[in-house]
Structure 1
């Protein structure tokens, strides 16, 4: 197996920083198109333990209520339990991790919340060859969904996976459905997309090309959804439902999300780790939605794993 050199890691770092900048620029354009002028502020930071990152945050926009697009490249003196649970052979190992992770919470309930991340992990014991893998994916969490957006999102995921193997989309789509599941609620967080971890089944260069495709694919998939939905009118009741559903998002990120757990256990920068949480959220006592309402259809139809590519969209 090809092992990454310091030059390889630097190439990944450069791609990630460029990806972060391009995603922020694309989302800022959508904010401006909606009549807003909010921009991503840049917050560079360093860790005493080694490494650092660049946090880019947009808050209180007209289109985007809160968005965080985070780059980090950190050194880890000793891997935390969240990293060694699946890899006990790495206990006590030094490592470095670099990646871009983002969550975008739109203001309009007709625009879904979206999440993406791509990352590289490299661990090495003294005198041994490094162990490495990539991870990442993207997923969509709608409030007032429609079949066209769900199908387009999954079509982009399918198309970017296709050059890497006929089964890649199916495997990583299922992994996403299985991962973004709230066990205590018995429901999916959203309509899924792609999720993968421990990716080193190909050579390093092919794996790197795959995370490039995933990172670039997020922006290509989300911008048309913003353009289509961000100017739609909505009611106070729809806004209330959006805040209610955001509660599920918070529950998943704080209880199950590997990235959140790893970041906190590895001594990461708490403010950057928890930037995925929306500024406004509600845990109102559960209402019984009308059987034929859009709110009821969200959980009964959209938040069920399904083959979105099989829909016949006219």
Structure 2
């Protein structure tokens, strides 16, 4: 079985299915596709949606890239070898309505080759996390339960471990350990072993990728038509600012792309269209805005 080709085919199929479902949910906007090539090897399909009924801005991107192992890669990824290959899907959606959460997910496979092109290292990584602006506990429980169910089918310890990893990754450490959202799952550098072989991790990534629509769309459908005010939109833009801060200051993928001549439009696609930075803004204690902030400061066990 050709793991590489099967993973590429899966990732492209997942992109197609997610884009079709999101267009149907929005009812107005359509994804615009931008095919790009990378001079060092490979390329990708960037698909962006904007100015819709539901989605103010979003992207569902895939890339299949390869090249020689460079010194920055040796240092940042701690890899050794002659060449490498990576394929993955990355998406971010910023809705119009402040009661609909922003969502991010990414699933990928990375291979390293020796001088004779044999695979000398391979790992899988990914995750899906939710960034609401207003906290609906039933939505949080649904989202986390969907991913717990996906994880439990492979290992009963996965959800607890990968939830904790997610809670400890998407953090604005410069803001008193404030999370950008309410998490989900996140895993990285999962290498095949005798107990959990390459097919195991392939199937796990596939199951988590397939779970995205089931985890997110019911929340969108429930909240997209709720009436909102300028105050709600104001808070959404404040919290979007935190999203920007995390992506530009802490996110490993963003920083790696910026340091290795990545495609800038695809890297920064994740940023929201409008944000607000106000000096020392604090929500009113006890308000719905403060309730969301407290969940970001103190991660909750939702299931």
2:182 aligns with 191
8 Å CA contact 2:107, 2:126 repeated in 1: yes
2:220 aligns with 226
Structure 2 counterpart of 1:277, from 262, 267, 271? 271
Find the residue that maps to 1:133 and give its secondary structure.
strand
1:237 aligns with 231
8 Å CA contact 1:80, 1:262 repeated in 2: no
Structure 1 counterpart of 2:58, from 56, 63, 67? 67
Find the residue that maps to 1:308 and give its secondary structure.
coil
Structure 2 counterpart of 1:163, from 136, 153, 170? 153
Shift of 1:300: 1.5
8 Å CA contact 1:190, 1:303 repeated in 2: no
The answer as to 2:99 corresponding to 1:110 is: yes
Q: Distance in 1 between matches of 2:248 and 2:74?
A: 17
Residues 17 and 83 from structure 1, CA distance in 2 versus in 1: closer, same or farther, beyond 3 angstroms? farther
Q: Distance in 2 between matches of 1:215 and 1:63?
A: 22
8 Å CA contact 1:77, 1:94 repeated in 2: yes
8 Å CA contact 1:20, 1:70 repeated in 2: yes
Unpaired runs of 5+ residues, structure 1, are 310-314
Which is further off, 231-240 or 285-294?
285-294
Shift of 1:83: 6.0
The answer as to 2:18 corresponding to 1:23 is: yes
1:250 aligns with 244
Unpaired runs of 5+ residues, structure 2, are none
RMSD of aligned C-alpha atoms?
A: 1.5
8 Å CA contact 2:180, 2:296 repeated in 1: no
Shift of 1:93: 3.5
1:312 aligns with none
The answer as to 2:111 corresponding to 1:122 is: yes
Scaled by the length of structure 2, the TM-score of the pair is 0.94
Q: Cα deviation per residue 1:79-138 (whole Å; 9 max; x = unaligned)?
A: 463664352x52x64201110000000010000000000000001121454210000000
Residues 82 and 224 from structure 1, CA distance in 2 versus in 1: closer, same or farther, beyond 3 angstroms? farther
Scaled by the length of structure 1, the TM-score of the pair is 0.91
The answer as to 2:2 corresponding to 1:11 is: no
Structure 2 counterpart of 1:260, from 247, 254, 263? 254
Q: Distance in 1 between matches of 2:89 and 2:295?
A: 31
Structure 2 counterpart of 1:288, from 282, 285, 299? 282
8 Å CA contact 2:111, 2:119 repeated in 1: no
8 Å CA contact 1:189, 1:303 repeated in 2: no
1:133 aligns with 123
Q: Map of 1:14-53 to 2, 5 A cutoff?
A: 14-32=9-27, 37-53=28-44
Structure 1 counterpart of 2:87, from 90, 94, 98? 98
Q: Cα deviation per residue 1:272-305 (whole Å; 9 max; x = unaligned)?
A: 1110001111112233322221111111235421
Q: Cα deviation per residue 1:4-42 (whole Å; 9 max; x = unaligned)?
A: x7x22011000000101111111111101xxxx110011
Q: Distance in 2 between matches of 1:84 and 1:287?
A: 38
Shift of 1:261: 1.6
Residues 176 and 76 from structure 1, CA distance in 2 versus in 1: closer, same or farther, beyond 3 angstroms? same
